[in-house]
Amino acid sequence: MVNVIQSNTSKEKTLNKEDLRGKSLIESLQLVYHAERQWLTVLPILQLAVGNEDLLELLDKFQKDGKEHLHRLESCFEALRVNVFAAENQDMEVLIEECYDIIDVTPRLSFIRDAGLIVGMQQVQQYQVTAYTSLLAQAMELGQQKVVNLLKIIIHHKQQEEEQLAMADTGTMLDEIT
C-alpha cells in the first residue's frame, strides 16, 4: 500500500508502509522523550510538596532514574539516526496539572496531600509504561533491536517505580491509621 502526502513545497511524495511506520516510531519517541523531560521538571516541585520522608527518597530516586531514561532515549534517537527532538506532549501536561491541582487544594505536609500525589504519580507512571510499551511494539515491528533493548530497560525500571509507589501508598496509609 502506498500513501500520498503533501510536502511543504507542495510536491507530492510517496511513502511506503515501512517509511510510515518508521515515521510513526520517531514521532512516538519524540512524544515520550518530551514526557520524560516534563516529568523530570516536575519531580523537584513534588519533592517540595510532600511530607513523607520515604516518599521524598523515592522521588529523588525517580529523578536519578529519569535522567538515565533520557540518556537511553537519546541513544534510541542515535540508533534511528535522527536528531533528538521533543514533541509537545499534551497528555502528560494534563497528568502533571492534576498533580499541581492536588498541591493547590490540600494542606501542606498532610497525609491527604501525600496520598493524592501518590495517586497522581501512579497515573503518570501508568501513562509512561503504556507509552513505552507502545513504542517498544513499534520498534519490534521495525526490527530496531538496539531501540528494543533500551526500551525494555526503561519499561522494567518504570514498572519497578509503579510498584514502589504502590508500596509507598500502602505504607503511608498504614502509618496514618496506626
What local confidence, expressed as pLDDT, does residue 168 receive? 83
Query: The pTM is what?
Result: 0.84
Q: 160 lies in a domain?
A: yes
What local confidence, expressed as pLDDT, does residue 75 receive? 97
What local confidence, expressed as pLDDT, does residue 150 receive? 98
What local confidence, expressed as pLDDT, does residue 20 receive? 85
Q: 89 is written with which cell numbers?
A: 506532549
Taking the C-alpha atoms of residue 28 and residue 36, their distance in angstroms, rounded to an integer, is: 12
CATH number of domain containing 24:
1.20.1260.10
- Structural domain including 93 reads 17-177
3: three-class secondary structure by DSSP: strand
Q: Mean pLDDT for each 10-residue chunk of the chain (178 residues)?
A: 39 62 94 97 96 92 97 97 94 97 95 94 96 97 97 97 84 58
Q: 145 lies in a domain?
A: yes
Q: 3 lies in a domain?
A: no
Q: Alpha carbon of 67 to those of 17, 30, 56, 73, 172: distances in Å?
A: 34, 16, 17, 10, 27
What local confidence, expressed as pLDDT, does residue 5 receive? 40
List own/partner pairs for 10-15 with CB under 8 A and 24 or more apart.
none
Q: 30 is written with which cell numbers?
A: 519524540
Other Cβ atoms less than 10 A from the Cβ of 63: the count is 16
CA angle 18, 20, 22 (to 5 degrees): 70
Tally of domains within the chain: 1
List own/partner pairs for 97-103 with CB under 8 A and 24 or more apart.
98/123, 99/42, 99/46, 99/124, 100/45, 103/45, 103/49
Q: 34 lies in a domain?
A: yes
Q: 50 lies in a domain?
A: yes
Q: 96 lies in a domain?
A: yes
For the chain, the farthest-separated pair of C-alpha atoms sits apart, in whole angstroms, at 70
What local confidence, expressed as pLDDT, does residue 8 receive? 46
CA angle 92, 19, 131 (to 5 degrees): 20
51: three-class secondary structure by DSSP: coil
Beta strand segments in the chain, E: 2-6, 12-16
What local confidence, expressed as pLDDT, does residue 9 receive? 43
Q: 168 lies in a domain?
A: yes
